[in-house]
Structure 1
Amino acid sequence: MKRVITIIIVVVVILAAIFYILNNNKKKAQETTDFIAKGSGAVAVKAANVERKEVNLDFTANGNFAPQQELNFLSENAGRVTKIYVSEGDRVSKGQVLARIDAEIINTDRETAEAAYQNAVKDEARYQSSYATGGVTQQQLDQAKLATQNAKLRLQASQRRLSDANIKSPINGIVNKKYIEVGAFVTAQGTQLFELVDVSKLKLKVNVNEGQVANLKNGDAVQIQSSVFPTEKFSGKVTFIASKADETLNFPIEIEVANNTKSSLKAGMYGTAVFKFPKQAPAILVPRTSFVGSVSSNEVYVLNKSKNTAETRKVVSGRILGDNVEILEGLKEGETVITSGQINLTEGTPVTIIK
């Protein structure tokens, strides 16, 4: 009971402290506003002219190259490694034998499965003959057929395991790492054998903001630059655009990049994607800081030049273009919007412009 009372007292004290701090901050802000109003008769603000400017949608984004395909190759059968035919850095093709596992036990299993299957086939033939003369029932014949089918499946599985004794590359690529040596024992639970990567094509992974992602679509051509190879030209195309922003409110983008014949680019290198767009028609732009609160409020303060006062204005915002926002309705060229100090303003507040 005492513990509960103590907790309640602590909570009450914390809430009281928070209320005191907030109330004190509010008083200080009000004192500052009153001081400005009494001292000069107007609130000091910054402002910007409303202008029609050319819209440039081009932008760049930095990221890292990743392999088009990357595979950690695992064992499927248990056995001892008897041969390794490749080394780290070797280029391999799909279906090429990389290593071989001792197939003695696997081959024995296959021979046993083969014998069982042949025996099941013979039994089924005898049951079929006996069924024709009434010697066995339909149920017994069906069981014999089922036994033959099961034996056939076991034989196919053992043949597959025997084939897998030759470890073959499932992709075209390069042996980036080799995890086994001759004489090593691998298990059927998935011992790591090789790391294979395909760098004939790479993926450049970059992040873009909401204003930029709105202008992108799959298949868009992108110029790629690498600081390591500044004289070489690379091209790519957008292959993936995230449908959801990440925790930083950016959207992950993947660009497929065709590597050159020398395979100059390596996975893990830095790259720059240069996004270029057709020339846009001029539009009315204002600084992003002009909005009261945020762009979504669609409200700004406009300077009444004849009275030197602030007036609220509802606008319709369009695209966010870096530090500027496109205005579709509500403002005209030549007007002046207030870009700072809005927290101290209300409708009709006298203002003075800071140059």
Structure 2
Amino acid sequence: MTHFRTLLIPALAATLLTACGGGDKPAAADKASAPQAAASAPRAALTVTVARPEPRVLAQQVAANGNVAAWQEAIVSANVQGLRVADVKVNVGDVVRAGQVLATFDAAPVRQDEAQAQASLAEAEAALAEAAGNAARAAAVESSGALSAQQIAQYRTAEKTARARVQAARAVVAAQRLRLDRAEVRAPDAGVISARSATVGQVADNGTELFRLVRRGRLEWRADVMAEDLARIRPGQAAELTLPGPPDAVPRVQGTVRQLGPTVDPKTRYATVYVDLPAGSLARAGMFASGRIDVGESRALTVPQEAIVMRDGFAHVLLMQPGDAVRLQRVRTGRLAGDRIELLDALPEGATVVVRGAAFLNDGDHVRVVQDSEPNQAPAPASQAPAAIK
């Protein structure tokens, strides 16, 4: 009996160990297969928003570059010789009216010359009166024979000579009065003073430039346009200029096409288009500006600008695929319209593009699509979302 128990106990122990070992193997296998299943499942990279391309009517535009210049610039010069500038009444930037006095010369020498001319005129007029009296008396006795014909002719010639001298003296007086009037430098037209070289004490020669004047304050944009675009441009079309300025507040000016240049530069193949700019704008003569001229409208396929992703110097969009995957597709872009941009390449019918979060994705990534309830908020990475990340 004792021998039987000795044999039974080891057998039972072996049976129990075998049973326990057979039950642990399937559980261990299940635990080993779980990480493999999790690794094979697709993982979302970002939470994104999507949009469908929309057709819109966009303005057709011609891009151009050019300089801002005065519509017409008047040069105000000295019209007197050897006079000293006594006073300068305006400065650069001042708005003046036609006929306004800009500067004055010291007119004392001109007044002295005018007084002398007046005296010479009075002397000539006195001589004319005497000569005219002599000629009249000679004519009265001509029939009596008291004077010879030669003497009578001499009296008449003396009268004509005296009359001519009076006319010459009067011309000198008029010239001195003109010099006196030109001692005041006046604006030839209304406008804005753009340059000033006149200084007090300066002795100006005739023709010396004293001021430059932008007539009527009008400015124009002289845009260089390719020859093949001229056929689409007409006077009266709207134009928009982009002026130099800070990146966060680039100044823009609206203008109107006034006329097209009559010639094309044979070297550059560009023509000049003259665009009138409104008075009081931020444009200044001498500025270089880029801009666009509206030449019509056309329909275009557009997507939000945020959907465009630049890779290797080219524009791309990310198209949604089955299984919430994305596919990177290269596209060509065109015109801008607010927050949307034109696509020059067609997309598959019914295509959907990623908008928020597109810049952080690569071809083949999986995403989680949500509604765009907060458009100004950056997309959250999946580490902050329920989905797992790579």
TM-score by length of 2: 0.49
The partner residue of 2:223 within 206, 230, 234 is: 206
Q: Is the 8 A contact 2:84 2:105 kept in 1?
A: yes
Q: Counterpart of 1:222?
A: 238
Q: Counterpart of 2:78?
A: 75
CA deviation map 1:224-266 (0-9, x unaligned): 3233475655222323522353432322332232223xx4221
- In the aligned structure 2, how far is the partner of 1:181 from the partner of 1:96? 18
Q: Which consecutive residues of structure 1, in runs of 5 or more, have no partner in the other structure? A: 1-55, 281-355
The partner residue of 1:90 within 89, 94, 111 is: 94
Cα 1:273–1:108 shift into 2, 3 Å: same
Please tell me the residue identity of whatever aligns with 1:252: T
- In the aligned structure 2, how far is the partner of 1:115 from the partner of 1:183? 30
- In the aligned structure 1, how far is the partner of 2:297 from the partner of 2:91? 52
Cα 1:176–1:129 shift into 2, 3 Å: same
Cα 1:95–1:200 shift into 2, 3 Å: same
Q: Counterpart of 1:175?
A: 193
- In the aligned structure 2, how far is the partner of 1:166 from the partner of 1:108? 17
Please tell me the residue identity of whatever aligns with 1:170: P
2:180 is the alignment partner of 1:162: yes
Q: In structure 2, the residue corresponding to 1:242 is in which secondary structure?
A: strand
Q: Is the 8 A contact 1:199 1:267 kept in 2?
A: no
Q: In structure 2, the residue corresponding to 1:243 is in which secondary structure?
A: strand
User: Offset at 1:191?
Assistant: 3.1
CA deviation map 1:189-230 (0-9, x unaligned): x3332333347311211222332234445x433323233475
- In the aligned structure 2, how far is the partner of 1:160 from the partner of 1:268? 37
Q: Is the 8 A contact 1:94 1:170 kept in 2?
A: yes
User: Offset at 1:273?
Assistant: 4.9
Q: Counterpart of 2:277?
A: 257
Moved over 6 A (4+): none
- In the aligned structure 1, how far is the partner of 2:289 from the partner of 2:283? 9
User: Offset at 1:97?
Assistant: 1.7
- In the aligned structure 1, how far is the partner of 2:237 from the partner of 2:117? 56
- In the aligned structure 2, how far is the partner of 1:241 from the partner of 1:220? 14
- In the aligned structure 1, how far is the partner of 2:133 from the partner of 2:264? 67
User: Offset at 1:278?
Assistant: 4.8
User: Offset at 1:164?
Assistant: 1.4
Q: Is the 8 A contact 1:200 1:258 kept in 2?
A: no
- In the aligned structure 2, how far is the partner of 1:116 from the partner of 1:166? 26
User: Offset at 1:105?
Assistant: 0.8
Please tell me the residue identity of whatever aligns with 1:124: L
Q: Counterpart of 2:164?
A: 146
Q: Is the 8 A contact 1:66 1:202 kept in 2?
A: yes
2:196 is the alignment partner of 1:192: no
Bigger Rg, which one: 2
Q: Is the 8 A contact 2:85 2:106 kept in 1?
A: yes
Q: Counterpart of 2:258?
A: 238
Please tell me the residue identity of whatever aligns with 2:125: V
Q: Is the 8 A contact 1:67 1:199 kept in 2?
A: no
2:79 is the alignment partner of 1:61: no
Q: In structure 1, the residue corresponding to 2:72 is in which secondary structure?
A: strand
- In the aligned structure 2, how far is the partner of 1:279 from the partner of 1:182? 58
Please tell me the residue identity of whatever aligns with 1:241: G
Q: Counterpart of 2:110?
A: 106
- In the aligned structure 2, how far is the partner of 1:241 from the partner of 1:254? 7
- In the aligned structure 2, how far is the partner of 1:203 from the partner of 1:102? 38
What is the aligned-residue RMSD (CA, Å)? 3.0
Please tell me the residue identity of whatever aligns with 1:183: G
Q: In structure 2, the residue corresponding to 1:259 is in which secondary structure?
A: coil
CA deviation map 1:59-97 (0-9, x unaligned): 122111101232343222222222222233332222222
Q: In structure 1, the residue corresponding to 2:263 is in which secondary structure?
A: coil
Q: In structure 1, the residue corresponding to 2:93 is in which secondary structure?
A: coil
Please tell me the residue identity of whatever aligns with 2:190: N
Cα 1:110–1:244 shift into 2, 3 Å: farther
Query: Number of aligned pairs?
Result: 221
- In the aligned structure 2, how far is the partner of 1:222 from the partner of 1:140? 74
Q: Is the 8 A contact 1:81 1:100 kept in 2?
A: yes
Q: Counterpart of 2:135?
A: 131
Q: Is the 8 A contact 2:195 2:212 kept in 1?
A: yes
Please tell me the residue identity of whatever aligns with 1:270: F
- In the aligned structure 2, how far is the partner of 1:278 from the partner of 1:251? 20
